Each structure stands twice: as C-alpha cells, then as structure tokens.
Amino acid sequence: MIQLRWIVSVLLSPFLWGRSVPLVRPKWIDWNPSLHPQTIQIKSHTIFYTAKGKGRPLLLIHGYGAGMWVWEKQIDVLSQSYRVYALDIIGHGFSDRPKIPYTPETYIHFLRDFMDGEGIEKATLIGNSMGGGMAWAMADLFPERVERLILINCIPPDILNKVNNESFQTLVAIKDIPVLPYLVIASRNKRSIQWILRDCVSDIKLITPEILDRQYRLSKIKGSTWVLYSTLTHAGEALKLKDQLSLIQHPTLFIWGEKDHIFPPRIGETLHHTIPNSEFLKIENSGHIPMWETPDEVNRAILDFLNK
C-alpha cells in the first residue's frame, strides 16, 4: 500500500510547512572547508560548483533534490589523478532555481552548457540516481562529449514505473492531481526529509542531525518546491530515450548498492544488459548513495575502471 504520511501532513497539518528562505551562498563549503566554491553563469543563472586536481576531467553529477555534498568522499581521492568537477545542478544545492520547466532536456542541455562554460570538450561522467540518468542521456544525445560512463544507482528511462520506495511512489500516484503534488512537496519538514534520507542508506545511523540539517537547509531555499514539482511532472518524458540505451558505445560501469530501497539492483542489472559491453558491480551493505555510504569500495571501483 502506498505510504500517505505526506498527504496527511498536507491536509491536516499545514502549520508544519516551513517557510522558504532566500538563497544565501556560503563563503566556503561548510561540509568541507578545504574546498573553495566557484560559480559560473549558465544562461544568466548562477551555478555553484567546485573543481580540484589536474588531468582528464571527471564530472560528478548528483541526483534529484540532492546537492554536490553527496560526493564529499570522492573529490579528494579522485582529484589526485584527475580534474574533478562536482556541481550543484540547476535548481539544486546552492545553484539558482529559475522558474522554468525542468524537463529531461533542461538538465541534459544544462550539463552540456556547463561543460562548454568550463571549456571541457570531453569528460567521464559519474552520476548518481537522476545524475546517472543525465549522464547516460548525454551519451545518447551528445556522444562526442562523453569519454566514459560510471552510473551509480542511476534512474532508468521508465523511472515512474520503477521507483520503489513509498515516498516517491506516493508522489507518482498523485502527480496528475492538480495542485496536490506541489502542496505535498511544499509540506516537507525535517521529519519527512529524514524519512527520505534514511531510504537512501542501508545504515540509518549515518543520517546524523548534521547530515539532516544540511539537506533540510538546502530543501528550504526559495524555489526548491517548484524545481522538484516540475521535475516530477516531466519525468515520464525520459521514456522516449529508452530505445537509445542499446546504442551507447562508451565504456560503462554500473555501481549499485545491494540494499537500494529506491531502485533495487535488478533495475541496474537490466540496464547493464541493455548497454553493450558494460560492467556491473554490486556493493554490499550499501543503499542508494553507495559513494557516500561506502566510499572506499566505490572509490576503488571508480579508479580501477578508469585505469583500464
């Protein structure tokens, strides 16, 4: 049965809705003070990112509603051998949240524009969840810009039929009801954010008050509700790329948390069999964000794949 906790909070407890706050960018990245923030203008929108290291470029792309903080345990390690870019994609993290349609094409073209802005002709794309979907879509639409793909618990093209956890199933079930999905997303409070974060890991003890506060603050930045709502309503458009997956020729590695409650490993295995000559690695005792939950195993897998 679909979990209706959020709907109940909308209908019965509107006083739980937190107020949106203006976007205030940090003078340093508070989750890792050793990394210095940079910004770039993409079509007049300010995009927040960090870059470190020298060598062939790697782009780290986070998922729906997240931010580049999910890559905090990769940047230092990977930047010892590569030029690493971790970015808050448009509408997320500390980046601007323009009120535009957040379609799959919006995200894919944003990623290409970011590469253009940084002078990156070709890069290895490492994406988690929706960020993984952006990565394989880039390989479909702009294959000349992609060197390799590393897809970590990435979304499938038919995401609305495959998402497995209760919170997102609820949003999918009500997405065509006028206004209600927007209100449900707007009703997020720390408790609902905690539910979502716990769905993303195998060991819920990792979701400390500090981690919860980090994601909650990002979720309350003005414009966040629109971004998540618009992305949800356009998610089904990714289905038109389904038949293109088998045409991807780039070296591809799938990394999948064995205990992913959002997209179980069988989804990754299906994608793996769809993309020719791809590799599949299952990470034990890890959930939807294995690069953050079990970084040693994931970092080792990434470097081994890149060194082939």
Q: What is the pLDDT of residue 176?
A: 83
CA-to-CA distance for 7 and 90, rounded, in angstroms? 27
Say which residues have a Cβ less than 8 Å from residue 41's Cβ, sequence separation at least 6.
Answer: 47, 117
Sole residue written with tokens 């939807």 = 288
Q: Which of 147, 163, 138, 140 is nearest to 64 (CA)?
A: 163
Is 164 strand, coil or helix?
Answer: coil
Which parts of the chain have pLDDT scores under 70? 1-34
Assigned fold of 5-306: Rossmann fold (3.40.50)
Confidence at residue 132, expressed as pLDDT on a 0 to 100 scale:
98
* pLDDT for 165: 78
pLDDT at 12: 39
Residue 27: what pLDDT? 52
pLDDT for residue 281? 98
What is the SS3 assignment for 83? strand
Query: Kind of pairing, strands 57-61 and 123-128?
Result: parallel
pLDDT at 21: 64
- pLDDT at position 71 is 96
Name residue 2's beta-bridge partners: none
Q: How do residues 196-241 score in pLDDT, each as one tens digit?
A: 999 999 999 999 999 999 899 999 999 999 999 999 999 999 989 8
pLDDT for 30: 65
Residue 203: both structure tokens together:
């060991």
